[in-house]
Amino acid sequence: MPFIVGGDPDFKTSLSVAKELCSGADLLEIGFPYSDPLADGPTIQAADMRALASGATTTSVFRLIKNIRKFSQTPITVLVYANLVLQRGLDKFYRDASISGIDAVLIPDVPLEEIGDFAKAAAKHNIHQIFLITQMTDNARLKKILKHAHGFLYLVSVLGTTGARKNFSSDTPKFIKRVRKQTGLPLCVGFGVSTPKQFGQMVKAGADGVIVGSAIVDVIAENLGRKDMSIKLKRFAAGFKR
Q: Where are the beta strands (DSSP E) in 42-166?
A: 76-79, 104-106, 128-133, 153-156
E-strand stretches of the chain: 3-5, 28-31, 76-79, 104-106, 128-133, 153-156, 187-190, 209-210
Which residues have a catalytic role annotated?
29, 40
- pLDDT (mean) for 24-46: 92
On the question of pLDDT at 106 being above 70, the answer is yes
Rounded percentage of the chain residues whose pLDDT exceeds 90: 78
Strand stretches in 60-194, DSSP E: 76-79, 104-106, 128-133, 153-156, 187-190
CA angle 132, 194, 201 (to 5 degrees): 75
- Round to whole Å and give the CA distance between 145 and 47: 30
For the entire predicted model, the pTM comes to 0.93
Which tens digit of pLDDT belongs to each residue from 166-185? 556 678 889 999 999 999 99
Identify any residues that bridge with 104 across adjacent strands, giving them in sequence order: 77, 128
**One-letter amino acid for residue 131 of the chain:** F
How high is the pLDDT of residue 165? 46
What is the reported pLDDT for 40?
80
The strand ranges marked E within 139-212 are 153-156, 187-190, 209-210
Residue-wise pLDDT tens digits, 202-228: 999 999 999 999 999 999 999 999 988
CA 10 from centre of chain: 19
Average pLDDT over residues 69-81: 97
The whole-angstrom separation of Cα 27 and Cα 177 is: 22
The reported pLDDT for the residue numbered 44 is 93
Q: Where are the domains of the chain?
A: 3-238
Q: Cα–Cα distance between 4 and 25 in angstroms, integer? A: 12
Other C-beta atoms within 10 Å of 65: how many?
Answer: 22
pLDDT at 64: 98
Q: In sequence order, what are the residues at sequence separation of 6 or more whose Cβ sits closer than 8 angstroms to the Cβ of residue 201?
A: 168, 173
Residue type, 37: P
Buried b (16+ CB within 10 A) or exposed e, 33-63: bbeebebbbebbbbbbbbbbebebebebbbb
**CATH topology classification for 3-238:** TIM Barrel (3.20.20)
pLDDT (average), residues 39-61:
94
Measure the CA–CA gap between 111 and 132, rounded to whole angstroms: 9
| CA distances for 34 relative to 44, 184, 211, angstroms | 10, 33, 20
pLDDT at 179: 96
